[in-house]
């Protein structure tokens, strides 16, 4: 059965046909749809899923006081989600399309008409959910009311960001996403109640199944809860029929069922984490069972209930960590060191919170006074959890970064962990040893046969500049995009790209000039990545972010340098040469754009010219100084504006490929069509980040290959 889980998507993906992509004919549009889902957001707004019958749209409004089943008529701009523009980033368009969303309308959309819907199951459960959430937040009180709602209902909108970040760093963020853990605790409650009232087996099964389905309804009916509830009901049905229960068959059948409905779930992190955790737990419990059956002393200790509870808890925690190791390491690039201890200590507390919260919520309509007592108990449990997690977070080395490891290495480590987990089973030893030797052999040959890897990526950072240059062993970052007005491209674009590429340190960072659209992102990069050396242009420019970056560089950067024309820097086969400006020219320039560092990079037989924001005045000086400008690739100065790229400079460069870094629909009108035509008339192929997204140039077998993210 588990094999079907992995083979089914291959068989059924070809049968799946997505709806044709929605195209905006006119904007703004008049949109009429039925409210399908309502979700609160951390900023206080409400996210509403509108179903028009053919398409689904997201609507963000402060509050419309609507319920599932209501009909809304909305007038506003329909925004089509954008495709991924840089490697390593979050693909918002792909995510929305995976859940059937074709467009987004934001807060400026205007409500034209609101028609009340009729009674429906989603409407009924939404009202109950809202009532329970309000009661929990009110009765539990600050600062833990929203956390209680998050643990019980998966309602995370009111939880403070620092609390979420603490849970994430400790590897226990999963307790805020209602899934198998919570369903297990709920099942425990209904099982205990059915035993108290001595229900016959058929009624016991119906009672627990109904309770689980009710919990599914009040938690919003998420796919993760559906999977967990399905597995729990199958387990209870097996007990009722007095069948021999195979947990692996339950997991396999559930996976088969949900992948049959939507095979693309296999690539969902939620699917991978939930099934990975269950598989890891079942795997280690099986190994542990075989171990204590063979060791008489261990078997004797297991007769003691306390030892059994503690040992099973440790194995369950270890199994969950093992089963989720690969997706967590690959997606997040870090492994929480104290996750094992945190799960052992926090999960039981989370269980008490869920159980106590359920009692408080269901007693509230009967006796608000008793409900208040249980709510205060929830407050106490969360207080202990808060203090406990704060102490764990203060321990040294909270996380191990694995961003430098490729997927091959992560799989290799994962298989070693599997080998360690099965070493106690005699019949596995020989085949595991052979597998390990084969993997080691592949690893050795892989390193020996590694091909050259050189790339220059002009990163799409909107109306700004950033470029990543790397070979097999070295990394150079030229500029890092903007930071300010609610955007930080260093945090949202540069760091995810570095993480995706497995880059933990930067050998050389070049700030071409101190304008925020070029250097702003360096502040976040410097906080998260080690930078060995920074090049900066000498100037009298002052700004808050520039001063902070220079101050941080004094303590976190090995070498801070103002290069002079002719200075060169060699990294492997890469040679970086400073062409312009010298310190005198840089300091005399009133327009700091014309103090931009201009460098030439040579890699074997290929050459690249980086112009920063150099304008006409700087270009004339560079041409007059007779610098060696001829290059295969040029990064056009000042975002391709009309204040750069004079004819004499274009002719001297004679580039095959040119790249313009500019923001989509930017207010400056960059790049100038006149300048684009000037380069094209010179025989240069021009790429633009506003149209092509990130543009990567690779050297493969000595040939230059251009790969834009968007064709």
- 339 & 471 share domain: no
- 588 & 523 share domain: yes
The answer for residues whose C-beta is within 8 angstroms of residue 311's C-beta and 6 or more apart is 288, 301, 302
Which residue's structure tokens are 């340098």? 561
Residue 273 lies in a domain: no
Q: What are phi and psi of 106, to 5 degrees?
A: -100, -175
Total domains in the chain come to 4
- 89 & 188 share domain: no
By DSSP bridging, strand 633-635 and strand 533-536 are unpaired
- Which of 118, 133, 158 is the last residue before a domain boundary? 118
- 594 & 516 share domain: yes
Cα–Cα distance, 224 to 270 (Å, whole number): 7
Query: What dihedral do alpha carbons 176, 179, 182, 185 form, nearest 10°?
Result: -160
The end-to-end CA distance of the chain, in Å, is 41
- 479 & 548 share domain: yes
- Which of 78, 96, 118 is the last residue before a domain boundary? 118
Query: Residue 426: which domain range?
Result: 407-448
- 102 & 212 share domain: no
Residue 9 lies in a domain: no
pLDDT averaged over every residue in the chain:
86
Paired tokens of 253? 């059948």
Tens digit of each residue's pLDDT (9 = 90 or more) over 556-608: 878 999 999 999 999 999 999 999 999 999 999 989 999 999 999 999 999 99
- 420 & 391 share domain: no
Cα–Cα distance, 606 to 699 (Å, whole number): 9
Q: What are phi and psi of 37, to 5 degrees?
A: -140, 150
pLDDT at 452: 67
- 529 & 583 share domain: yes
CATH number of the domain that residue 525 is part of:
3.60.15.10
Residue 285 lies in a domain: no
Cα–Cα distance, 516 to 514 (Å, whole number): 6
- 230 & 245 share domain: yes
- 375 & 475 share domain: no
Paired tokens of 495? 């760091």
Residue 444 lies in a domain: yes
Residue 312 lies in a domain: no
pLDDT at 273: 81
pLDDT at 4: 45
- 505 & 580 share domain: yes
Residue 275 lies in a domain: no
CATH number of the domain that residue 103 is part of:
2.40.50.140
Residue 1 lies in a domain: no
The CB density around residue 396, as the number of other CB atoms within 10 Å, is: 6
Question: For the chain, which residues score pLDDT lower than 50?
Answer: 1-17
Quick one: residue 65, left, alpha or beta (phi over 0 = left, psi -120 to 50 = alpha)? left
Cα–Cα distance, 583 to 561 (Å, whole number): 12
Residue 291 lies in a domain: no
Q: CA nearest 186: which of 421, 12, 351?
A: 351
- 479 & 598 share domain: yes
- Which of 118, 139, 156 is the last residue before a domain boundary? 118
């Amino acid at each position: 059965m588990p094999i079907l889980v992995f083979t089914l998507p291959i068989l059924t993906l070809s049968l799946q046909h997505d709806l044709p992509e929605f195209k905006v004919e006119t904007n703004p549009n008049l949109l009429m749809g039925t409210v399908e889902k309502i979700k609160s957001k951390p900023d206080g707004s409400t996210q509403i899923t509108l179903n028009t019958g053919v398409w689904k749209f997201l609507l963000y409004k402060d509050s419309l006081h609507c319920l599932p089943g209501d009909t809304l008529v909305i007038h506003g701009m329909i925004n089509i989600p954008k495709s991924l523009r840089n490697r390593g980033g979050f693909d918002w368009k792909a995510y929305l399309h995976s859940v059937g969303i074709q467009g987004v309308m934001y807060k400026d959309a205007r409500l034209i008409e609101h028609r009340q819907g009729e009674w429906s199951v989603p409407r009924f459960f939404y009202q109950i959910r809202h009532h329970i959430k309000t009661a929990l937040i009110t009765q539990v009180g600050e600062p833990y009311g929203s956390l209680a709602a998050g643990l019980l209902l998966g309602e995370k909108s009111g939880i403070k960001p620092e609390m979420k970040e603490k849970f994430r760093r400790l590897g226990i963020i999963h307790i805020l996403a209602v899934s198998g853990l919570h369903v297990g605790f709920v099942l425990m409650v209904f099982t205990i109640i059915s035993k108290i009232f001595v229900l016959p087996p058929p009624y016991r099964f119906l009672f627990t199944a109904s309770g689980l389905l009710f919990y599914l309804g009040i938690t919003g009916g998420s796919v993760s809860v559906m999977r967990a509830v399905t597995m729990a009901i199958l387990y209870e049905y097996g007990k009722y029929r007095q069948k021999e229960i195979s947990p692996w068959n339950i997991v396999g059948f559930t996976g088969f069922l949900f992948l049959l409905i939507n095979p693309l779930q296999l690539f969902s992190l939620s699917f991978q984490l939930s099934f990975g955790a269950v598989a890891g737990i079942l795997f280690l419990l099986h190994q542990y069972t075989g171990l204590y059956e063979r060791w008489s002393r261990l078997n004797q200790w297991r007769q003691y209930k306390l030892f059994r509870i503690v040992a099973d808890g440790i194995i369950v925690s270890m199994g969950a960590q093992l089963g989720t190791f690969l997706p967590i390491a690959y997606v997040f690039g870090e492994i929480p060191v104290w996750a094992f201890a945190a799960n052992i200590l926090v999960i039981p507390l989370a269980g008490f919170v869920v159980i106590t919260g359920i009692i408080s919520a269901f007693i509230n309509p009967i006796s608000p006074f008793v409900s208040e007592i249980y709510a205060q108990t929830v407050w106490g449990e969360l207080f202990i959890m808060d203090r406990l997690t704060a102490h764990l977070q203060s321990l040294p080395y909270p996380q191990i970064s694995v961003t430098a490891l490729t997927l091959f290495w992560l799989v290799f480590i994962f298989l070693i962990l599997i080998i360690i987990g099965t070493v106690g089973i005699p019949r596995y030893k020989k085949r595991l040893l052979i597998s390990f030797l084969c993997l080691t052999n592949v690893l050795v040959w892989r390193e020996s046969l590694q091909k050259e890897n050189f790339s220059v990526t002009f990163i799409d950072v909107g109306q700004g500049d950033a470029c990543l240059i790397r070979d097999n062993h070295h990394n150079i970052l030229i500029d890092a995009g903007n930071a300010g007005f609610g955007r930080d491209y260093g945090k949202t674009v540069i760091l995810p790209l570095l993480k995706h590429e497995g880059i933990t340190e930067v050998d050389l960072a070049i700030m071409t000039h101190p304008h925020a659209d070029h250097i702003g992102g360096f502040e976040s990069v410097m906080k998260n990545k080690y930078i060995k050396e920074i090049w900066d242009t000498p100037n009298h420019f002052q700004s808050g972010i520039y001063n902070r970056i220079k101050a941080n560089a004094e303590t976190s950067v090995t070498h801070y340098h103002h290069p002079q024309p002719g200075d060169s820097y060699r990294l492997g086969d890469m040679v970086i040469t400073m062409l312009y400006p010298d310190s005198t020219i840089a300091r005399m320039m009133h327009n700091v754009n014309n103090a931009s560092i201009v460098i030439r990079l040579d890699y074997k037989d290929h050459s690249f010219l980086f112009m920063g924001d150099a304008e006409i005045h700087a270009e004339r000086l560079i041409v007059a100084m007779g610098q060696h400008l001829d290059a295969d690739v040029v990064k056009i100065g000042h975002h391709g504006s009309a204040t750069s790229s004079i004819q004499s400079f274009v002719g001297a460069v004679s580039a095959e490929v040119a790249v313009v870094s500019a923001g989509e629909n930017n207010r400056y009108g960059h790049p100038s069509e006149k300048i684009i035509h000037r380069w094209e008339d010179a025989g240069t192929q021009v790429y633009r980040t506003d149209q092509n997204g990130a543009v990567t140039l690779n050297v493969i077998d000595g040939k230059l290959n251009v790969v834009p993210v968007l064709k």
